[in-house]
Structure 1
Amino acid sequence: MAFALLDYLDSVKERDPAARSRWDVVLYPGAWALLYHKVAHWLWVGRLYWLARLVNHISRFLTGIDIHPGATIGKNFFIDHGFTVIGETATIGDNVTIYQNVTLGGTNPSTGVGGKRHPTLEDNVVIGSGAQVLGPITIGEGGRVGANSVVTKEVLPRTTVVGIPARPVPVDLVHYSPGFIPYGTPCGEDIDPLRARLTTLEEELDELRAELRQLKSRGQPSPESRSA
């Protein structure tokens, strides 16, 4: 039990540069919300629903985080800052990170599979602040959801989605910095390769336009017309 707690505290510290020690992490509302949820979930599984909801309400009052007792959560789950809502049938894998003001929301029970109406987050998923992930969809392993995105469709593993509605980013992102990359929004060193790729594409497009102008000035058919 003690080793599991230390592993959890260390996993949070690795993902949050503001945490200077394990004692800092102990004071995080996300850590307390997870502790209360473990108690509430144990009561929920034992069909002590009213007591489970009572623990849930106490947790929400003290931490500002609302995790339904029925939600299933894996190892090393980290909620940074709080003000997050997680629904009853949500399933969360290992080493998942969620930032503030995120909702794992549900849909009409009749539209779910076997009554499931909330999302499934596989291992190592990152959900950016303000994102809304809605319905019985799956965010694949290593997926990232950008800040303020609204996700209503499946996200493939190791894919970054942004926007309303959320869509995959048009260019693969490469991380040049070691360790955990915070937030689900491409920023910092992630933007540099994206800009470089866009610059290359713009240069290639300019070259094609220049070639097309030369062909027109010579009265020769364009490559498109020749291929036709």
Structure 2
Amino acid sequence: MFNNLVEYLDSIRARDPAPRSRWEILLYPGVLALAMHRVSHWLYDGGLYFLARMVNHFSRALTAIDIHPGATIGRHLFIDHGFVTIGETAEIGDNVTIYPCVTLGGTNPANGIAGKRHPTLRNDVIVGSGAQILGPIVIGERARIGANAVVTDDVPEGATMVGFKARSTLVSVEQWLREFVPYGTPCKEPCEPADANRIDELEQQLAMLKADLDALRAASKAEAGSVRRTEANG
């Protein structure tokens, strides 16, 4: 058990440059929230739902991280800071990293049956700050969800998703991924292929609009001058 704890703390240290020791990591809210979730999930599986909820509410008050007791979580989950919500039927694989203000939320079943309502995150997924992953969708292994992305469809393995509604950046993970990439979004690679022709077209349209505006202003000044001269002669 001690070796498993050390391995978990080292996995966090490999993904976060801030801590100076394993002791410091033990105080991380994400670590405390996950430890209490293990207890609440054990109670939940045993049918002790009220006690499970009590542990859950205490954990949320202490860490600002709300993990439903029913959520299934694998090994080495790293929740970096708080304000994260993980729903009842969410499933999280191994070595997943979640940054602040992320929601693994559910959708309202149209048939009124509870069932699977929350996302499934495969191994080694990274979810950037503020991302919202909604519904019973699957996020493939090594996928990256960019900051503030809203994901409502399945994400293929190795894809990087950005935007609202999230779309693939079309940047192959294998081209740039060598080690862990913080925050889930590549910073040195273009998020989308540049469209030079479209940019040139927009610049031409802008120039035409400016020319039309200048012509209208000149015509308006000429008309105002003509009116003033007519009034003066009259």
Indicate the TM-score class for this superposition, using the shorter chain for normalisation: 0.7 to 0.9
Please name the residue that 1:175 is paired with: 176
CA RMSD across the alignment: 2.2
CA contact (8 A) 1:127 1:184 kept: yes
The residue identity in structure 2 corresponding to 1:107 is T
Please name the residue that 1:54 is paired with: 54
TM-score of the pair, normalised by structure 1: 0.81
For the residues of structure 1 that align with 2:137 and 2:55, how far apart are their CA atoms?
28
For the residues of structure 2 that align with 1:33 and 1:17, how far apart are their CA atoms?
20
TM superposition outliers: structure 1 runs of 4+ over 2 Å: 109-114, 170-176
TM-score of the pair, normalised by structure 2: 0.79
Give the length in aligned residue pairs. Answer: 198
For the residues of structure 1 that align with 2:56 and 2:43, how far apart are their CA atoms?
11
For the residues of structure 2 that align with 1:89 and 1:110, how far apart are their CA atoms?
17
The residue identity in structure 2 corresponding to 1:9 is L
The residue identity in structure 1 corresponding to 2:93 is G
For the residues of structure 2 that align with 1:170 and 1:89, how far apart are their CA atoms?
30
Unaligned runs of 5+ in 2: 201-234
CA contact (8 A) 1:80 1:100 kept: yes
Partner secondary structure for residue 104 of structure 1: strand
For the residues of structure 2 that align with 1:186 and 1:112, how far apart are their CA atoms?
40
Please name the residue that 1:190 is paired with: 189
CA gap 1:105/1:41 in 2 versus in 1, 3 angstroms = same
CA contact (8 A) 1:84 1:102 kept: yes
Return the offset for 1:190. Answer: 3.3
Return the offset for 1:24. Answer: 1.6
CA contact (8 A) 1:161 1:168 kept: yes
The residue identity in structure 2 corresponding to 1:102 is V
Please name the residue that 2:130 is paired with: 130
For the residues of structure 1 that align with 2:144 and 2:127, how far apart are their CA atoms?
6
Return the offset for 1:112. Answer: 9.3
Partner secondary structure for residue 51 of structure 2: helix
For the residues of structure 2 that align with 1:153 and 1:17, how far apart are their CA atoms?
32
* 1:45-194 equivalences in 2 (<5 Å): 45-110=45-110, 115-173=115-173, 174-175=175-176, 178-187=178-187, 189-191=188-190
Identical positions, percent: 60
Per-residue displacement from partner, 1:45-83 (whole Å, max 9, x unpaired)?
000000000000000000000000000000000000111
